[in-house]
Amino acid sequence: MHRTAIANADLEMLEKARAAIQEVVAGRRLGVQAVPYFSPVDLAAHHPSIQRAERRLQEQNDYGNRVRAGIHISLMADRKSVV
């Protein structure tokens, strides 16, 4: 009897974890898409400080896209592991 109660508690905990992960995944669904970066066409014609600033913006954008993709992959893996 005691083992059954523990097993039920474990199953209940897994169900709560699965529901929580699904909620987070559903809330982030729109945040998965990569954000495009549109740099100036004539970047070489700009002052070096503007070129550096534009490169920094592009790097930050690329980093943000990688983070979003990593979070999404982790959440999907977690969701699959508790289903």
Output the tens digit of pLDDT for each of the chain's 83 residues: 466 666 777 788 878 877 777 777 676 665 566 677 787 778 888 899 999 999 999 899 888 888 888 887 787 777 667 65
Residue among 20, 15, 23, 32 at smallest CA distance from 68? 32
24 Rama class: left (phi>0) / alpha (psi -120 to 50) / beta: alpha
What is the model's pLDDT at position 28? Answer: 61
Say which residues have a Cβ less than 8 Å from residue 42's Cβ, sequence separation at least 6.
none
The encoded tokens of residue 29 equal 């669904």
Phi, psi angles (nearest 5°) of residue 40: -60, 140
